[in-house]
Each structure stands twice: as C-alpha cells, then as structure tokens.
C-alpha cells in the first residue's frame, strides 16, 4: 500500500488489524526546533505540538489501536528554563481542561504515568479528574508520560520487590519478568509494538525501557508539530512491512 493522502481510514483500520498492531508509543520530539526554524517563540512550538497530538489521538482511536502512549515531559525536562517549564505546566492544564470532555465523549480512557507528585496541585487534581472521569471508557487507552523516566520506573519496581522479599512474601529466586511487569505503570497494557520518534534523533531517551524490548523503531526527520496523519500512516505502513522475530 503506498503512502498517499488518498489512503482511506478503512484501509488503515484494516491494516492495523491485519498486522495485530495494538499499542503505539511516541517520542514527540522537535517542538523547539520547529519554532526556531520558523523564527517563532519556542513556546509556540509546544502549542503547535499539542494541536498535532489532538488530531493523532482521534485518528488512533478511529483506526482501532488499543493503546497510544506519548512522552510529554521527562524527568530531565525540569532542567529547562523556568519560563519554558512554567509554560508547559500552563499548557498541560489548558489542553487537558479543553479536551477532557471531548475525549470522554469519544470513549477515550486517559491515564498519566510517571512521578506526578512533582507537578502543581492544580494540575495533579485535573490529571486525577481525567483519570476518574474516563476510567470506565472502553475505547483507546491514551497514556501521557509526564515526569516520566524509564530507569526511575524500573528502580521503583525493584524497590517494591525488595520490600516484598524483606517482608517474607517471596524469595529472590522466585522473581520473574511477570512480577516486574505487574509493577510497571503500563502493567495492564500490551507492550508497545511500534515506537515512533519524530525529529530525527536515534535514541530512546529513557522512555519505556522495559516495555520497548521488542518494539519496532521508526524514526522520522519530521518535527513533531508537522507530524500529520499522513506521516503517521507512513509509520504504520512501514511497521506492516517489518518481520518481527522477537530475538529468535
């Protein structure tokens, strides 16, 4: 199937089903470079990035994906300038407040993953509201990784296992991959089949380290604000051409 604007929604839905594509993870990179390239303020790049994400969530639901997980804010992003971090917090609030009802009506189930304790109380409360309001929805599982780090997630799982061993609830040699999986933020989801990174960088950036062990990687030079539905279709079509061997 060629990647053209004439590819229909039904064709893409059929493709997703035929290759058993269930979960897509995305590193949304390039907002700042997009703004710099267009001689615009950095903050405007982040706003345009939110617009691109809004369209993609709706489309992902329409083509039948079970889950979509996006990297919105890493544990390292706190090192950015105070103005930029403050704007990102404000943008999170505005975007979530503005989109929550529409996503709920569209049967999307929203969850934030990461150490949310570091965020302002107003934002944490809205995140919890989004989770609670959509908890019984049966459509796509939309996960936003915020103040997320893959190493931190694994270390946190190890701590919980260590506490269980200390309490005499299990022995070290009884630990299996399933025990670790059950303690991850994504415990009730299939691992990502496809990891997309925009912006042309070839690194995983501490994102879903455990979960992406066998994910297919797709890197595009396209900066995130320019990542259209057609660009997303190209990634899905490339995935369909891959032969997945899971290390065998």
From the list 62, 77, 106, 156, the catalytic residue is 77
Convert the pLDDT of each residue in 120-142 to its tens digit. Answer: 899 899 999 999 999 999 999 99
**Planar angle of CA 32, 33, 36, nearest 5 degrees:** 90
107 in catalytic set: no
- Kindly state the tokens that stand for 56: 């993609």
Residue 47 pLDDT: 87
Run of H or E residues at 112 = strand 109-113
Beta bridge partners of 142: 68, 110
Residue 6 pLDDT: 67
125 in catalytic set: no
Number of domains in the chain: 1
CATH number at residue 120: 3.40.1180.10
Asked whether residue 112 is assigned to any structural domain, the reply reads yes
Instruction: Tell me how far apart the alpha carbons of residues 103 and 123 are, in angstroms, rounded to a whole number.
Output: 18
Asked whether residue 4 is assigned to any structural domain, the reply reads no
- Kindly state the tokens that stand for 36: 């710099």
Mean pLDDT of 96-119: 92
pLDDT band per the 50, 70, 90 thresholds, residue 80: confident
Question: Residue 33, SS3?
Answer: helix
Asked whether residue 168 is assigned to any structural domain, the reply reads no
Run of H or E residues at 160 = helix 150-166
Whole-number Cα distances in Å, 15 to 6, 46, 227, 244: 15, 31, 20, 16
Instruction: Tell me how far apart the alpha carbons of residues 153 and 150 are, in angstroms, rounded to a whole number.
Output: 5
Mean pLDDT of 80-105: 84
Domain extent, residue 194, equals 15-153+189-239
Half-sphere exposure of 2 (CA within 13 A, CB side): 3
What residues contact residue 246 under an 8 Å CB cut-off, 6+ apart? 214
Asked whether residue 7 is assigned to any structural domain, the reply reads no
Run of H or E residues at 202 = none
- Kindly state the tokens that stand for 140: 């796509």
The region of weakest confidence among 5-9, 63-67, 93-97 is 5-9
Angle between helices 82-105 and 42-62 (to 10 degrees): 20
Mean pLDDT of 94-111: 92
Asked whether residue 174 is assigned to any structural domain, the reply reads no
Answer yes or no: is pLDDT of 3 > 80: no
Asked whether residue 176 is assigned to any structural domain, the reply reads no
From the list 29, 147, 193, 233, the catalytic residue is 29
Answer yes or no: is pLDDT of 2 > 50: no
- Kindly state the tokens that stand for 61: 């639901």
pLDDT band per the 50, 70, 90 thresholds, residue 119: confident
Convert the pLDDT of each residue in 5-61 to its tens digit. Answer: 568 999 999 999 999 999 999 999 999 999 999 999 888 888 899 999 999 999 999
Mean pLDDT of 91-106: 89
Asked whether residue 184 is assigned to any structural domain, the reply reads no
**Planar angle of CA 97, 208, 152, nearest 5 degrees:** 90
Asked whether residue 181 is assigned to any structural domain, the reply reads no
Whole-number Cα distances in Å, 228 to 3, 112, 235: 12, 24, 11
């Amino acid at each position: 199937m060629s990647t053209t604007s004439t590819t229909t929604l039904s064709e893409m839905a059929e493709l997703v089903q035929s290759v058993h594509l269930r979960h897509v993870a995305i590193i949304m990179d390039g907002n700042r470079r997009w703004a710099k390239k267009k001689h615009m303020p950095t903050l405007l790049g982040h706003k345009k990035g939110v617009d691109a994400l809004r369209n993609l969530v709706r489309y992902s639901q329409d083509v039948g994906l079970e889950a979509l997980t996006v990297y919105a804010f890493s544990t390292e992003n706190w090192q950015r300038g105070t103005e930029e971090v403050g704007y990102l917090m404000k943008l999170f609030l505005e975007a979530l407040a503005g989109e929550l009802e529409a996503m709920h009506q569209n049967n999307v189930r929203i969850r934030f993953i990461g150490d949310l304790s570091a965020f302002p109380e107003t934002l944490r409360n809205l995140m919890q509201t989004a989770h609670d309001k959509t908890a019984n929805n049966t459509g796509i599982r939309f996960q936003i990784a915020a103040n997320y780090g893959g190493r931190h997630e694994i270390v946190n799982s190890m701590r919980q296992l260590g506490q269980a061993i200390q309490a005499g609830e299990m022995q070290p040699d009884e630990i299996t991959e399933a025990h670790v999986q059950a303690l991850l933020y994504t415990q009730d989801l299939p691992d990502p089949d496809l990891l997309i990174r925009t912006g042309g960088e070839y690194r995983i950036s501490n994102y879903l380290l455990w979960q992406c062990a066998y994910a297919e990687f797709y890197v595009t030079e396209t900066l995130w604000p320019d990542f259209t539905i057609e660009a997303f279709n190209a990634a899905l079509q490339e995935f369909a051409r891959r032969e997945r061997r899971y290390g065998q």
